[in-house]
Amino acid sequence: MGNCLKAQSADDISLLRGSETQDGNDQALGPPPPYQERVAPRAPIYYPSPNVSRPANLLTEDEQVKIAKRLGLIVHLPCGVYDGCSKKGKECAICMCDFVMGESLRFLPCMHTYHKDCIDDWLMRSFTCPSCMEPVDAALLTSYETS
């Protein structure tokens, strides 16, 4: 998430500079489309292994496979909305904020619960529950087998 934000702010600056150079140009409405084109292809950043961060378009084939698998597994983890009476904890251990009614939550197979945004960002870096250090994929596979 942080990287997306940074990428966007960098673009904002370039937009500002771009419009300065266009000073005095009556057709001020002209420029936006090309800038949007430039913003659109900016690839999300992934973390295929420790100390490695790469935009999607520079990933090796193995890394692409690893990330595709990871995205696929995350999608299968149950999620829901905090209803205020959940017994599975009231606080997200990642951001240390209390759950608020209506927030999206993600439930890991080890029964730990986090904000969906907080844990999804983390799981893309490490497929481990931050609270119990249980590898999520192993737990996921066994829960599939038993069900």
Partner 1 sequence: MAIEQSFLLLKKQLAELNKNPVEGFSAGLLDDEDMYKWEVLIYGPPDTLFEGGFFKAHLIFPKEYPLKPPKMIFQTEIFHPNIAKDGSVCISILHEPGDDKYGYEKASERWLPVHTVETILVSVISMLADPNDESPANVDAAKIWRENPDEFKKRVAKCVRKSQDAFE
- Here the tokens at position 93 are 């251990």
Instruction: Give the residues lining the site for partner 1 (CB under 8 A).
Output: 1-3, 5-6, 47-51, 93-96, 117-118, 121-122, 125-128, 130-131, 133-135
By C-beta, is 47 or 107 nearer to partner 1? Answer: 47
* Shortest distance (Å) from residue 31 CB to partner 1: 28
Phi then psi dihedrals of residue 7, to 5 deg: -60, -40
Q: Name which of 73 and 94 has its Cβ closer to partner 1.
A: 94
**Please, which residue, 48 or 109, has the CB nearer to partner 1?**
48
Q: How far is the CB of 96 from partner 1 (least distance, A)?
A: 6
The distance of closest approach from Cβ of residue 119 to partner 1 in the complex, given in angstroms and rounded to an integer, is 9
Sheet holding 79-81, edge to edge: 79-81, 104-107, 113-115
d(CA 147, CA 144): 5
* CB-nearer residue toward partner 1: 36 or 49: 49
Query: How far is the C-alpha of 53 from the C-alpha of 49, rounded, in Å?
Result: 8
For residue 47, give the DSSP letter.
E
**Residue whose CB is less far from partner 1, 8 or 22:** 8
In the complex, the smallest distance separating the C-beta of residue 139 from partner 1, rounded to whole angstroms, is 12
Amino acid, single-letter form, for residue 73? L
Strands 79-81 and 104-107: antiparallel
Distance of closest approach, residue 37 Cβ to partner 1, in angstroms = 26
The string of DSSP letters for 90-107 reads SB-TTT-PBP-TT-EEEE
